[in-house]
Amino acid sequence: MDLDDLMPPKKSGSGAAIGDNLETLSVAELEKRVKDLEAEIARVNVELGRKRQHEAAARALFKS
């Protein structure tokens, strides 16, 4: 059993999880969800950029 199996799925700041049923949400709730997801995408892209820079630096170090 993985640790992930023991942990509940993470919710976004709006309390919504990926894959939730969207039919019950209002227009305002859907708009907030889109904003929350866009903010999370931006956060992930920043971390992805950091990891890629670190990876490139490590590759350059070991190419010598």
Read off the pLDDT of residues 51-60 as tens digits, 9 standing for 90 and up: 999 999 999 9
Q: Indicate whether 29 belongs to any domain.
A: yes
Q: Indicate whether 44 belongs to any domain.
A: yes
Residue 32, exposed/middle/buried by CB under 10 A (0-12, 13-18, 19+)?
middle
DSSP class of 8 = P
In terms of residue numbers, what domain contains 42?
23-64
**Structural domains counted in the chain:** 1
Read off the pLDDT of residues 5-44 as tens digits, 9 standing for 90 and up: 776 666 555 567 889 999 999 999 999 999 999 999 999 9
Q: Indicate whether 16 belongs to any domain.
A: no
